[in-house]
Structure 1
Amino acid sequence: MQEDPRAVTEIHENAELDRARDGLQGDCASCFGLCCVALPFSASADFAVNKPAGKACSSLQADFRCGIHTRLRQQGFPGCTVYDCFGAGQKVSQLTFGGQDWRQAPGTAQQMFDVFPIVRQLHELLWYLTEALTLLQARPIHGDIRLVLDETERLTRLDPETLRELDVAAHRQTVNALLLRTSELVRAGTRRKKQDRRGADLIGAKLKGADLRGANLRGAYLIAADLTGADLRFADLIGADLRDADLSGADLTDSIFLTQPQLNSAKGDAGTKVPRSLNRPTQWSR
């Protein structure tokens, strides 16, 4: 029996996209602890102390590993447990700066710290664009998406000085236009009344068992919302704030543009269904 060429092509494309997503996950062993140095944080519920940008966290070890990694929440640093660089750390460390760390070359330290958050933004866009290419409903615009994805990847490989001058906001607007179109195509397939809650204040909202299939929740504030048992399939969750939202028993399998940091910041349990591309947070099983 002869194989369907289209099916074979789709299998190869999916394998390629899976590999691409693997490269958009943080590899701390290949990074120079950039998130622990370049980024600032303030004493709050997320961080136990203040730390300015460019200063190494006191828990950063000589091998660029975190000395309290397994005890971050207990030590007052839950903010660290929900952070994800989308693979920008290893790219800046190993590609942009050729494997030379900021301790070996202190003259490049500030340049490296400036570049890291820029590449991190670009890698987040790559995550969304890569996901868009996996969505069959968006096939009519896959060609446009791939062009912008390739351009975004090219930008991540620029030299440090060019990266520092890059207008990421302008590029984000170009990407966002495609992501909006992708969202519309995917959510149109739900064939139900549209729920537009983009940017809505849903802090602490009682949404237990809510039918939110195909809802537009882009940028919605869902902090501490009760979403237990909610149906979030095909909901657009890009930029939604899910800190302490209760997702126990919720179905997020076909939600779109959900990221690992969002999941990590929420509450869930063994009954929470998550997208195949994401990992169930370890704290959900405790």
Structure 2
Amino acid sequence: MPRMDKVVASAREAVADIGDGASLAVGGFGMSGVPTALIAALLEQGATDLETISNNLGVDGFGLGTLLSAGRIRRTIGSYVGNNKEFARQYLAGELELELTPQGTLAERLRAGGAGIPAFFTPAGVGTLVSDGGLPWRYAADGTVAVKSPPKEVREFDGVRYVLERAIAPDYALVHAWKGDRHGNLVYRRSARNFNPDCAAAGRVTIAQVEHLVEPGEIDPDAVHTPGIHVQRVVHVPDAEKPVEFRTVQK
């Protein structure tokens, strides 16, 4: 019978069993909705040779950028590479493998993984290196391409060509929610919702850090974004770090 009270005492305890070589879907977009406490605990825990799935790898010194700087990420699937100089350096130096994926396709690959759908057809990327293959996944130290993306199946439906994309169902998912209860039901707030629901559903073991921990029944069922069935561990992080990536102020 599944454990109903999913709250664990600390972020350290929540990530303790993540081993070397694990795959992780990590919520967030830029600096919004990033599970920073869980990432910091994983950095301290020491797991290495990780494969991450996320929109981006944070920025230098923040979020997944801390794991990247420590040399703990072997491979990443994502859709945005900007705002992280160490990301660019490692990729071009052949130290990091990158599977660059259109942003909508990345979201759907995670959603499909959570829904138990093994693959799907999409028009995004047809006629480009995304479908034809040849994207540089990893460079060699001399700057040549060591690993290229393979070609994907393309089929025509009603006169339109579509490319087959595989779902993503990683070992773990790390997500940030505004509110959660002891059963693992989660509510995200505004732009912090981003990739978090898709990651939460896709992970075989989903770990959620929540700003506000409430008792079962306190969240209106209609307000739940991620049902507790998808979540295995909940950590209360009332002082979660939430910096602003770009500030625009009036002179």
TM-score between both structures, scaled by the size of structure 1? 0.25
Higher strand share: 2
Tell me which protein shows more helix as a share of its residues.
1
Q: TM-score, normalization: structure 2?
A: 0.27
| Structure possessing the higher relative contact order (Cα contacts under 8 Å, 6 or more residues apart) | 2
